Amino acid sequence: MTEYTEAEYAYGSHPSQFARMYLPPGELLPVVVVIHGGFWKPRYGIELAVPLARNLASFGVAAVAVEYRRVGTGDNGGGGWPRTMADVARAVDALATSGQYLAGGRLNLDSVVVIGHSAGGQLAAWLAHRPSLRSGTPGSITPGERWVPVRGAVTQAGVLDLIQGGLDGTGNGAIIDLMEGEPGSVPQRYTHSSPLEHVGDGARVTCVHGTDDEDVPFEQSTRYVDAAVLAGDPARLIGIPGVGHMELIDPNHMAWEVCRDAVLGML
Q: Which pLDDT tens digit goes with each residue over 183-229?
A: 999 999 999 999 999 999 999 999 999 999 999 999 999 999 999 99
**Is the model's pTM score more than 0.85?**
yes
217 prior amide bond cis, ω within 30: no
> Residue 73's pLDDT is what?
83
Average per-residue pLDDT for the chain: 97
Largest CA distance in the chain: 50
Strands 236-240 and 205-210: parallel
User: Which range marks the domain in which residue 127 is found?
Assistant: 5-266
Task: State how many domains the chain has.
Answer: 1
> Residue 138's pLDDT is what?
93
DSSP string of 231-242, one letter each residue? TT---EEEEETT
Number of Cβ within 10 Å of residue 17's Cβ equals 20
CB 82, CB 31: distance < 8 Å: no
* Segment 176-192, tens digit of pLDDT: 999 999 999 999 999 99
Strands 5-10 and 18-23: antiparallel
CA distance 23 to 42: 27
CATH classification at residue 91: 3.40.50.1820
Confidence of residue 2 (pLDDT cuts 50, 70, 90): low
